[in-house]
Structure 1
Amino acid sequence: MSSSSDSSSSSDTAPTTPISPTDSLSLSKRPLYTTSSVFLKTLSEAGVTHIFANWGNDHPAILEDLERQRSERGGKALLEIVTCPNEMVALSAAQGYAQVTGNPAAVIVHVDVGTQALAGAVHNVDKGNTPVIIFAGASPYTVSGELKGSKNEWPMWGQDAPDQPAIVRQFMRFTTQIMSGKAVAKTVMRAWQFATSAPRGPVYLWARRESVITAPLDVTKWPPIAPSGLSPTAVRTIVDALSTAQFPMIIALSYLRSVSVFLSISQYFSIPFSHPYLLGQTFDGTNPYLEEADVANGSRLRPDARVFVVDADPLKQQMGWSHIDAELICRADAHVALGQLVNAIRAADAEAVDDTKLQEGLRARGERLTSLHDHWIGQLVEAESRKSLPGQTPSVPCILGTLREAVKAQTVSHGENVLWLNEGISNCGLVWNHIRPERPGQMFMSGGSSLGWALGAATGARLGAQVAKKDYELITAIVGDGTYLFGVPSTAYWLSRRYDASPRYSMLGMHPDGLASKVSAQQLSVSFGPDMPDYASIAAAAGGAWGRRVERAEDIQSTLEEAVRVVVQEKRSAVVDFIIDQI
């Protein structure tokens, strides 16, 4: 976004009047305030702290204003700039930042080509409901110097897309063009409101170089929509159902009503794995308890089951199809709704102090759920004890269980102050089961299905942790081989140093008895083996990482212990490449 010839004498805010032609101070020596000045200042005042950027010829005014800020503020700009040589890594890093802080980061990319290079990360921030503000410049619309910023380089003709925001519009909560510098602050804040209001997600702003000057804005008058709760009728109905049910189940207030919890395609931490009423989790849609559940959220239930859906976006407006047969479908913030239900249950219990039948029923329900939970955890522990598969390659449960214990042993918090990024894809369910997080915010997934999120997200999460004052002792990304390469490791590990999976499972899910189920992954052309890349060396070359490949079960523990030591003590990245049986 570049400027007109107007400028101002104010040192830290955008001007309200242009410079007088009789001003004795030379314009060449006066700081130049532009649309970019207000754009960056508005982002900062809204709470954005980091911009993950891949610069292009549409950004000279932004770069100029950043330098103005540094010159006026003792060398420090309003926002931290994280240079990202790859746009998908930039957006993945911004997603990791937002997942840790809960607040949007900004991403700046170059015209239509930079927008396209955001790639599958756009899907992830959409499906993961992650607030991110994306800004792209656009090719100038004047060609002969009619306005400052006219086309002056040969790529600008080819980069002038007829409908640039259409590249990402269907994944955004809001898209708009900054038409005039006089409205840039209001445009930014409207986008911020969409990004931070439920259902949260990405927004896309774009502007051509010929923008003009504007005035400041009070950003406190642009709050996000306040989270909503359940209606009184919905609260009463759900509480009554939970009190009288034989086997109620939450899929995604367990103690108060002895409610079982079964996780389905978990993307974020929602309950400690040690919780006695957690009965398991699934990534293939199966739930062994659904046929028994008589109050639940899900499908294929017993005919008399009562189903209640509570969601900030229950109709899933960004999806082509989504439906659950239900008695009640409630648009409400989960945190607010659960608070309402807890308060209602406590009020009901206070009125029914002598209800022996209710209390005995809840106690019996709780004892049964605890028994089911302990049996499930016992199966997981047993799987971890089997170190190798028939081919003598390490077993995934053993690898993950050993990693969990190595992290506990070498961190001061005994693993509690550790962030796990799960992009195991084919093995992501095993990652949840065998890492078994215990604290909120300990494990994230991308929220979507586009591969390549974890490596960039790890750097973004680290930067976000500094802002949110979450001083993680360790950040661990667990990925498959395809995921690793999709994450552009050369860029991701360069970024990390500078700023301090196979699809065959999907195929088998569709055709478990088909011809392809009888042949190897290599024959199907979905495997990178046996001549797979040296993943550790990629990270070492790009970012000075420590790396090692493990092919024998007996090397699991010593290698993981050394990897954790390198990260915790030497403060550099470590990559451990485990060879497991081909899927």
Structure 2
Amino acid sequence: MSSESTPVFTASTLLLKALSSAGITHAFVNWGSDHPALLEDLERQRTEARDRENSEGDDTTRPSIVTCPNEMVALSAAQGFAQATGKPAAVIIHVDVGTQALAGAVHNVDRSRTPVLIYAGASAISSDGQAKGSRNEWIMWLQDIPDQSAIVRQYMRHTSQIGSAKTVESSVKRALQIATSSPKGPVYLWARREVMEEEVQREDVDAISGMTGWPSVEPSALTISASTKIAQALLTASSPLIITSHIGRTPAAAASLLSLANLLAIPVISSCPSAVNIPASHPSYIGVTFLAKDTHWEKLDGADLILVIECDLPWIPANEKPAEGTRVFIIDGGDPLHLNVGSWAFEAEMVCRADGGVACQQIEEALIKLGVRPPGEPWSLDSSFDDARMESMVQFRREVLVRNHARVSSDLDKYEKLNIVGRPIRPGERDERRLSYPIRYVVGTLRRAVDQLVVSQGGSVLFLNESISNFPAVWTHLRPEVPGSVISSGGSSLGWALGAAVGASLGAKTLGVNGDSDKKGYNLVVAIVGDGSYMFGVPSSAYWMARRYNTPFLTIVLNNGGWNSPRLSMIGVTPAGYGRSTRGDQLTVGFGPDAPDYSQIAVAASSGWAWGARAGGPGGLPQTGQFSVDSIDTQFKELIEKAVRVVVEEKRCAVVDCALELI
């Protein structure tokens, strides 16, 4: 359309205006035959912007469009965007097939309680030219199914069809109101093609307003009786424990948890964490667990009170569980009964729907009213409590936590030292001296390099952890301090990290970290992935997007030669079975002996913009004679430091393919 043409406005104009007016700044899109009116209106926006400013450019649309060659990467990017900023993004995809191609990202965005608005077009209902946008391509008959939203409904907080131009604005606002209310999560809107081609007047477009009048539901709180009861129970418990998974998704809530834990010297364990819930340097931090047998807190069965707060799963009864009679209190801001999980049953004395951060503040306030005081101040409990005994009990716990924390920190330092052992060739391998690195060493070396080159210079870092079978080691040896500095998908569908790194980087530099406009962007984004999750992440799309939208990040591929998690599941059920010592490729969970060169996939996808290197693997050790552990250590450290500098200084993606022991 030329600048002299009269613009045509449609229901698609209203959709784009409603999204941007509601605060959606970015839409991650994968276009199809159901989107002609959207594409047309975006070009109208660009044309009008050029006419007004007498300038060229294609970044003038509202919302900004992020082209995504793969739908799962699009939704993962939108999830990462929202996780980094605290603000929802939009995803636009194509009919039933595009909805299906969202794939496992739908599971992740649901389980992580991340607000994302998904819009999908649909084939026109008319086929005789009765309306603009009627069916005129053969594929539209094949892409029309009876209930398109049923594909994703059980994962959505809300699904709705836009029936006419008149309902576009209210549909968007209601969807976003639901998506941003606890339990936050994805919503799905869809509309027929001719509905989105319906013409409207400019005044209809101008009439669209923001979200005023459509607020998110305010965070819920404990009742006074509940906060008092929990406070009294914590005060009188001799061995209390707090278990959480994701209270740290909100930094203020993490601070409230830390304050409560510090007041009574309560240990805190992160069960299947998807956020940094408590600083690793704090004495109350007793680690992470992914609930494999004998990996929970060593004193779980000795706890006499457990506060389960914002937690996906506190323990697995078949592996480890509290002793009979342990008092259990469950608090969750959106879904304390986990209604969207098929089976979730844990007995408790009290179950409360209350925001984790608000609840921690209330419990601490109740403790203060009871006479509890911060460390160093004398307590003033009433006569129904034994001041001296309880204060002494808390002080004893505090001393034990400090001693144990110092011991654990010292042990971690030892574990992170390089220990290389060459081994003979195994059947199917082509090199007699394969160099592999211990996972603890890899993560420790990465952390120290990032601390030296970025954190010590005042820079901010975001780690995205999708290491799967190495989850516990990565969380433990990153030793995170700052809430929001490490995140994961919150679910179990692989392929989140690469797209999420693009979205998180884009969101942070646009809106600020956690929505703080004074903290624009991260100095470094690091995705730590297994070789399996790397392939699931569609690197051919993710690294193209990273270059296109200038979102460089470092990828550390923990390459153990395949999918270790299915093998571990097999061993967990049949520990002495045939498969325990079977090679991964023979077991059909391995990618060897000729595995992909993961770093060069990124280089190719970005037309040479990304930088990549392998660390270890076949030929990594001398064929004959001795080798120096110190020289191997130095080479690896220099490689990691170079990769960090490529991202931080050269503003390019870097990928380091790190060889671990093969499965």
TM-score w.r.t. the length of structure 2 is: 0.81
Rounded to whole Å, the distance in 2 between the matches of 1:356 and 1:414 is 46
| 2:612 alignment partner AA | G
2:595 alignment partner in structure 1 = 532
| 2:299 alignment partner AA | Y
Per-residue CA deviation, residues 476-509 of structure 1 (Å, 9 max, x unaligned), is 0000111111101011000000000613223333
CA drift of 1:30 comes to 1.4
The answer (yes or no) to whether the contact 2:34–2:121 under 8 Å persists in 1 is yes
1:474 alignment partner in structure 2 = 524
1:333 alignment partner in structure 2 = 355
Candidates 442, 445, 468, aligned match of 1:425:
468
Q: Which secondary structure does the structure 1 equivalent of 2:649 belong to?
A: helix
CA drift of 1:213 comes to 4.9
Candidates 409, 416, 431, aligned match of 1:377:
409
1:572 alignment partner in structure 2 = 652
The answer (yes or no) to whether the contact 2:502–2:545 under 8 Å persists in 1 is yes
Rounded to whole Å, the distance in 1 between the matches of 2:406 and 2:302 is 19
1:11 alignment partner in structure 2 = none
Label 1:370 to 1:414 Cα distance change in 2 as closer, same or farther (>3 A). Answer: farther
Rounded to whole Å, the distance in 1 between the matches of 2:569 and 2:163 is 44
| 2:597 alignment partner AA | D
CA drift of 1:217 comes to 4.2
The answer (yes or no) to whether the contact 2:416–2:444 under 8 Å persists in 1 is yes
1:210-249 to structure 2, matched below 5 A, reads 210-211=194-195, 212-213=198-199, 215=204, 216-218=207-209, 219-249=211-241
| 2:80 alignment partner AA | G
2:249 alignment partner in structure 1 = none
1:64-75 to structure 2, matched below 5 A, reads 64-73=40-49, 74=53
The answer (yes or no) to whether the contact 2:29–2:93 under 8 Å persists in 1 is yes
2:637 alignment partner in structure 1 = 557
2:610 alignment partner in structure 1 = 545
CA drift of 1:373 comes to 1.9
CA drift of 1:59 comes to 0.7
1:116 alignment partner in structure 2 = 100
Label 1:183 to 1:389 Cα distance change in 2 as closer, same or farther (>3 A). Answer: farther
The answer (yes or no) to whether the contact 2:3–2:47 under 8 Å persists in 1 is no
CA drift of 1:415 comes to 7.7
| 1:446 alignment partner AA | S
Rounded to whole Å, the distance in 2 between the matches of 1:412 and 1:435 is 13
Aligned length: 558
| 1:433 alignment partner AA | T
1:156 alignment partner in structure 2 = 140
1:264 alignment partner in structure 2 = 271
The answer (yes or no) to whether the contact 2:268–2:286 under 8 Å persists in 1 is yes
1:146 alignment partner in structure 2 = 130
| 2:229 alignment partner AA | T
Is 1:302 the equivalent of 2:323? Answer: yes
Rounded to whole Å, the distance in 2 between the matches of 1:27 and 1:572 is 38
Per-residue CA deviation, residues 376-406 of structure 1 (Å, 9 max, x unaligned), is 2222221111433564521110011001011
Rounded to whole Å, the distance in 1 between the matches of 2:328 and 2:107 is 29
Candidates 152, 160, 185, aligned match of 2:169:
185
1:16 alignment partner in structure 2 = none
CA drift of 1:412 comes to 5.2
Candidates 293, 300, 312, aligned match of 1:290:
300
| 2:420 alignment partner AA | S
Rounded to whole Å, the distance in 1 between the matches of 2:362 and 2:459 is 29
1:278 alignment partner in structure 2 = 285
| 2:236 alignment partner AA | T
Q: Which secondary structure does the structure 1 equivalent of 2:9 belong to?
A: coil
Is 1:365 the equivalent of 2:397? Answer: yes
1:517 alignment partner in structure 2 = 580
Please say which of residues 296-305 and 473-482 is displaced more in the overlay: 296-305
Label 1:317 to 1:337 Cα distance change in 2 as closer, same or farther (>3 A). Answer: same
Rounded to whole Å, the distance in 2 between the matches of 1:120 and 1:314 is 24
Q: Which secondary structure does the structure 2 equivalent of 1:479 belong to?
A: strand
Rounded to whole Å, the distance in 2 between the matches of 1:453 and 1:168 is 18
CA drift of 1:413 comes to 4.1
Label 1:28 to 1:114 Cα distance change in 2 as closer, same or farther (>3 A). Answer: farther
Rounded to whole Å, the distance in 1 between the matches of 2:106 and 2:653 is 26
The answer (yes or no) to whether the contact 1:186–1:217 under 8 Å persists in 2 is no
CA drift of 1:360 comes to 2.0
Label 1:184 to 1:56 Cα distance change in 2 as closer, same or farther (>3 A). Answer: same
| 2:460 alignment partner AA | N
Q: Which secondary structure does the structure 1 equivalent of 2:263 belong to?
A: helix
1:581 alignment partner in structure 2 = 661
Q: Which secondary structure does the structure 1 equivalent of 2:437 belong to?
A: coil
Rounded to whole Å, the distance in 1 between the matches of 2:662 and 2:499 is 26
The answer (yes or no) to whether the contact 2:8–2:199 under 8 Å persists in 1 is no
2:318 alignment partner in structure 1 = none
Is 1:60 the equivalent of 2:36? Answer: yes
Candidates 350, 354, 366, aligned match of 1:344:
366
CA drift of 1:72 comes to 2.9
The answer (yes or no) to whether the contact 2:3–2:48 under 8 Å persists in 1 is no
Rounded to whole Å, the distance in 2 between the matches of 1:416 and 1:321 is 43
The answer (yes or no) to whether the contact 1:131–1:200 under 8 Å persists in 2 is yes
CA drift of 1:34 comes to 1.1
Rounded to whole Å, the distance in 1 between the matches of 2:441 and 2:129 is 66
Per-residue CA deviation, residues 131-165 of structure 1 (Å, 9 max, x unaligned), is 11001100111001101100011111111112111
| 1:60 alignment partner AA | P
The answer (yes or no) to whether the contact 1:93–1:460 under 8 Å persists in 2 is yes
Candidates 496, 499, 515, aligned match of 1:453:
496
Please say which of residues 134-143 and 520-529 is displaced more in the overlay: 520-529
CA drift of 1:38 comes to 1.3
| 2:470 alignment partner AA | N
CA drift of 1:45 comes to 1.4
CA drift of 1:70 comes to 2.2
Q: Which secondary structure does the structure 1 equivalent of 2:540 belong to?
A: helix
| 1:486 alignment partner AA | F
Rounded to whole Å, the distance in 1 between the matches of 2:274 and 2:601 is 28
Rounded to whole Å, the distance in 1 between the matches of 2:300 and 2:497 is 32
Report sequence identity in percent. Answer: 51
The answer (yes or no) to whether the contact 1:263–1:282 under 8 Å persists in 2 is yes
The answer (yes or no) to whether the contact 1:194–1:224 under 8 Å persists in 2 is yes
CA drift of 1:284 comes to 2.8
The answer (yes or no) to whether the contact 2:111–2:490 under 8 Å persists in 1 is yes
RMSD, aligned CA: 1.8
CA drift of 1:342 comes to 2.1
Rounded to whole Å, the distance in 2 between the matches of 1:413 and 1:441 is 18
The answer (yes or no) to whether the contact 2:240–2:267 under 8 Å persists in 1 is yes
CA drift of 1:28 comes to 8.3
1:19 alignment partner in structure 2 = none
Rounded to whole Å, the distance in 2 between the matches of 1:260 and 1:186 is 47
Rounded to whole Å, the distance in 1 between the matches of 2:573 and 2:410 is 31
2:507 alignment partner in structure 1 = 464
The answer (yes or no) to whether the contact 1:128–1:201 under 8 Å persists in 2 is yes
Please say which of residues 290-299 and 96-105 is displaced more in the overlay: 290-299
| 1:311 alignment partner AA | D
Unpaired runs of 5+ in structure 1? 1-25
The answer (yes or no) to whether the contact 1:407–1:415 under 8 Å persists in 2 is no
Per-residue CA deviation, residues 344-398 of structure 1 (Å, 9 max, x unaligned), is 2223236943733332221111111122222222222211114335645211100
CA drift of 1:523 comes to 1.1
Is 1:483 the equivalent of 2:533? Answer: yes
